[in-house]
Amino acid sequence: MTDFDVDLFVIGAGSGGVRAARVAAGYGAKVLVAEEYRIGGTCVIRGCVPKKLMVYASRFADDFADAEGFGWTVGETSFDWGKLIAAKDKEISRLSAIYRANLEKTGVAFVQSRAIVEDAHTVRILAENRTVRARYILIATGGAPFLGPEIPGRELAITSNEIFDLKEQPKRILIVGGGYIAVEFASLLERLGSKVTVALRGENILRGFDEDARCFLRDSLTERGVEFKFNDMPVRLEKKDEAIHASLAQGEILEVDQVMLAIGRRPATQGLGLDRAGVRLDAVGAVCVDSFSQSSVPSIYAVGDVTNRVDLTPVAIREGHAFADTVFGGKPRAVDHMHLPTAVFTTPELGTVGMTEEEARLKHTVVDVFKTSFRPLKATLCGSCDRVFMKIIVDGETDRVLGVHIIAGDAGEMIQLLGIIIKMGATKADFDATMAVHPTSAEELVTLHTRTMRYEQPKLDPGEAPALMDEEQMP
Ligand code: NDP
């Protein structure tokens, strides 16, 4: 122990790294954190937080329009992109400073530098060209946007890293991809007045989400004015005057001001020296870890997006906390990655927890589906055609609720609470026994008594049972 300079060296001051450092220091560990960019990581600096601020900005467009239906006369409105970006930057700097102060308060030392691993216990701090010996090393470097194939002109495209700092709002934008980032930015930029086209390789957005929810959200974004190019991707980008001409595989050429690639992210392990230290990485460069976040080298752990388990901020925070409890607190703790509630911050939002209908039908013999779509009360006076979608998936044999999917104004807020209920193992009877809160949209969740559909697999004799599919064979 005495030949170590620190007990813990954390590489990366994002959500997972900061939490791990603070908790470990709380247990009395001597901790040093290195970060090459700004404290706060993707979530705070160029992810969840600035994105949500932009989502809020975008929703005023509807509020102004809706207000008239409620008797208001709204004067001329205008939107100033520069003002929003400046206000957002101020808030992000404030948050980053709080993260730093919190580290200092717990006695964690911080160094602004890229750090690379030299061996199982040695980290080099590049800015100071010195090495530090650490009893444990935690890799919490997160991920970086994936740029996809090297098509001609790809360097003209931006990613979600740059969109937050654009000096001007793109009047016309092509977003490539159909995941979280693509649909969130499509929705918010359209509301802020951009003409948005989304090109994606698949036939629908948000692969892996409930099929009905995907279709409902796609239709709602389309109705609003977002144009989707399914089974289509850019094959060439060319700068012509101030515009970018994006040639799509199916032959169309789009003239836009910006092209944003949102085709996933990759673990940030390049050049980190992990291979040299003997740390096993998977095919996309993620650190392979066990359920306690320990890598193939016993003194090196990894949490958050760099492990490519579930790329969500709260998961990274939990993993960081569990790591510190396990290694420094004497309380071994693995994070349960099941039943994670999550939200896509489009307008309307998509909130989801538990199984999709498709997943439930693969795993359960009897599946009951309850679903509804309705116009929320607020839409009645303002003439908006917004609709709410709700779907509850139930195990028909045990009555346990397997999943809930909601598309609504506040679906993110609703799904957080439903996450508790589903985790506790609530049954549909529990939902039905709960008193409604009236008038709300969420009350539909406890008044949805009529089953829409029951899927029942015929009971097979044990001899006839089909072999179980492994994950890769599943549709
Ligand atoms: P996603 O994994 O959500 O989506 C990636 C998209 O890119 C999919 O449409 C995928 O298509 C497509 N794609 C992947 N590889 C290729 C390729 N080689 N060529 C063409 N298309 C490709 O990634 P995002 O970048 O949107 O977001 C990254 C992560 O950040 C997410 O996994 C999410 O966990 C997190 N995030 C969470 C948010 C939230 O919680 N609200 C918000 C934003 C991000 P296909 O479906 O066909 O594979």
Q: Which of 121, 321, 438, 449 is catalytic?
A: 438
Probe residue for ligand 1, chosen from 45, 164, 201, 413 as the CB with the greatest number of ligand atoms within 8 Å = 201
Task: Count CA atoms closer than 13 A to 339's CA, side-chain side.
Answer: 15
Q: Coil, helix or strand for 451?
A: coil
Residue ranges, comma separated, of all CATH 3.30.390.30 domains in the chain are 342-473
Alpha-helix runs per DSSP H in 242-390: 313-328, 357-363, 377-382
Distance in Å, CA 90 to ligand 1 centroid: 28
What is the model's pLDDT at position 457? Answer: 87
Q: Are 82 and 96 in contact (CB under 8 A)?
A: no
| Cβ neighbours of residue 97 closer than 8 Å, sequence gap 6 or more | none
Res 464: pLDDT? 58
Closest-lying ligand 1 atom to the alpha carbon of residue 47: 43
Using an 8 Å Cβ cutoff, are 417 and 442 in contact?
A: no
pLDDT score recorded for residue 176: 98
Q: What's the CATH class of domain 154-263?
A: alpha beta
Question: Strand, helix or coil at 153?
Answer: coil
Q: Give the pLDDT confidence score for residue 475 in this predicted structure.
A: 35
Q: What torsion do the CA atoms of 177, 179, 182, 185 make, to the nearest 10 degrees?
A: 180
Protein residue with its CA nearest to atom 19 in ligand 1:
148
Q: Which atom of ligand 1 is nearest to the CA of 345?
A: 41
Q: Which of 46, 176, 263 to mutate to test the pocket of ligand 1 (most atoms within 8 A of CB)?
A: 263
User: Using one digit for the tens of pLDDT, what is the confidence trace for 43-94?
Assistant: 999 999 999 999 999 999 999 999 999 999 999 999 999 999 999 999 999 9
- Best residue among 181, 206, 230 to mutate for probing ligand 1's pocket (most ligand atoms within 8 Å of CB) is 181
Q: Which residues line ligand 1 (CB under 6 A)?
A: 148, 177-182, 184, 200-202, 207, 233, 262-265, 311-312, 342-345
Could you list the pLDDT tens digit for every one of the 475 residues in the chain? 458 999 999 999 999 999 999 999 999 999 999 999 999 999 999 999 999 999 999 999 999 999 999 999 999 999 999 999 999 999 999 999 999 999 999 999 999 999 999 999 999 999 999 999 999 999 999 999 999 999 999 999 999 999 999 999 999 999 999 999 999 999 999 999 999 999 999 999 999 999 999 999 999 999 999 999 999 999 999 999 999 999 999 999 999 999 999 999 999 999 999 999 999 999 999 999 999 999 999 999 999 999 999 999 999 999 999 999 999 999 999 999 988 999 999 999 999 999 999 999 999 999 999 999 999 999 999 988 889 999 999 999 999 999 999 999 999 999 999 999 999 999 999 999 999 999 999 999 999 999 999 999 876 565 655 444 443 443 3
Q: Does domain 6-144+266-328 have CATH number 3.30.1490.20?
A: no
pLDDT on residue 264: 97
What's the gap between Cα 124 and its chain centre? 31
Nearest CA to ligand 1 atom 1: 179
CB neighbour class for 72 (10 Å; exposed up to 12, middle 13-18, buried from 19): exposed
3-state helix, strand, coil in the chain (%, to 5): 35, 25, 40
CATH 3.50.50.60 residue ranges for the chain: 6-144+266-328, 154-263
129 HSE (CA, 13 A, CB side): 0
**Nearest residue CA, atom 48 of ligand 1?**
207
pLDDT at 463: 60
At residue 458, the pLDDT reads 77
- pLDDT tens for each residue of 211-235: 999 999 999 999 999 999 999 999 9
What fold does the segment set 342-473 form as a domain?
Answer: Enolase-like; domain 1 (3.30.390)
Q: Provide the edge-to-edge strand list for the sheet that holds 253-256.
A: 234-240, 243-248, 253-256
In the residue annotation, 438 being an active-site residue is answered as yes
Q: Whose CA is nearest to atom 39 of ligand 1?
A: 344
How far away, in angstroms, is 386 Cα from ligand 1 center? 26
Q: Which residue's alpha carbon is at the smallest distance from atom 47 of ligand 1?
A: 202
**Cα(8)–Cα(137) distance, integer angstroms:** 6
